[in-house]
Amino acid sequence: MVSSYYSILHISTSATQRDIKRAYRKLAQKHHPDVNKSGSDELIKLINIAYETLSDPSKKAIYDQRLAGAFHQTPSPTYSPTSPKRRAPPHSFYRYQKRYSDTTYTYSTKTKLQGWGAVILTILLIWIGIRAMDYYASEYYYDKAVIAENNHNYNEALGLYQLAIRKWSSKSVEASIQIVELNQHMGAYHAMVDHSEIGFGYEPDSTQSARLYYLEGIGYTKTERYEEAEKAYLNSLNFNYNKDTIYHQLGLIYINHLEQYDKAVEIYSFLLASNSINLANYYNRGISYQHIGEHQKAIDDFLAILKNDPYNSKILFQLGRSNLALNQKALGCQYLRKAQNQGANINPDELALACDF
């Protein structure tokens, strides 16, 4: 095979790159299938291989070295019975097997178990590391948020509380509650509902759940979603949130929005049973009694307020209405006149019509 590529291109071993390129072009044109119909594909392949090797200086240098060494090549050494044998791996690492005429080594059961154990341990350590990072990062951002909130930097506190909400952290629920309360303070009521739901996603305890449902109820109330607000408040009661606080919110919804006056009467009766001096509860129950047609009970509640505030025009007006509804015309007109004298906005024509003036 001495000088075979050179002989294929019909050049000498001292040929320059220019000579190689020129010889290749000449042979390529001569043996191209379009020119030489009887040309050999094998010859063309050999010409291309020869040119590819000799036209690349690095390949040419390697080829020349091999070509020069071909005259001095010695047989490659082979192993003899006296040659030192390669040391086999220890049996604790490999299990020796005989397959056909080949000798192969495969991992032993012990080694496989050790390998899988190492993989599982690595995964476990990575998982613990991620959880630890989440936990300590959440603690850090939560503490920074509390400081920002105490300094009245509410927007900064919101951002830090957001960073404290993490998948594996004991502060995620608390941070969600703080965000909801900050949104309430800033009047962002839709955000209150959204972040209450985020808090529920981190498995709050019963106290936290009660607080979240209560805040969610406020968010629904402020965004005029009263039926959803009622559900949220009732859920808060199921987690033992302060009953008086929840009943106060529910009573206002039943009177002012849902018009469920029977429920309002029950709620304010409960509140008055534990606090009989709250005049606002008497008023709200009296209004509820009026709507369900129990005007005498309404009068009793309004009179309880009048004992403590005898010149309250709003109460005098409601007393006048309920007495007129019970056909106690003289007494009703008396209360309406007193209410007008105390500044109540009563149409004089309507008053005259009701009282036959």
How sure is the predictor about 84, in pLDDT bands with cuts at 50, 70 and 90?
Answer: low
pLDDT beyond 50 at 100: no
Of 19-23, 92-96, 234-238, 296-300, least confident by mean pLDDT is 92-96
Rounded Cα distance, 27 and 44, in Å: 9
Query: 4-72: CATH homologous superfamily?
Result: DnaJ domain (1.10.287.110)
pLDDT on residue 98: 47
Query: Coil, helix or strand for 93?
Result: coil
Of 19-23, 42-46, 86-90, 123-127, least confident by mean pLDDT is 86-90
Give phi and psi for 236, each to the nearest 5. -65, -40
Q: What is the pLDDT of residues 265-320, one digit of tens each?
A: 999 999 999 887 889 999 999 999 999 999 999 999 999 999 999 999 999 999 99
**Mean pLDDT, residues 40-45:** 78
**Mean pLDDT, residues 160-164:** 90
**Mean pLDDT, residues 345-354:** 83
Considering the chain, what percentage of its residues have pLDDT values greater than 90? Answer: 50
pLDDT beyond 90 at 124: no
| E strand or H helix that includes residue 62 | helix 57-69
Of 47-56, 66-75, 206-215, least confident by mean pLDDT is 66-75
pLDDT on residue 1: 41
How sure is the predictor about 339, in pLDDT bands with cuts at 50, 70 and 90?
Answer: very high
The pair of structure tokens assigned to 79 is 């192993």
Give me the chain's average pLDDT, please.
84
pLDDT beyond 60 at 97: no
As beta bridge partners, residue 94 has 107
Enumerate the domain spans of the chain: 4-72, 310-357
The DSSP string of 73-110 is --PPP---TTSPPPPPPPTTTEEEEEETTEEEEEE-HH
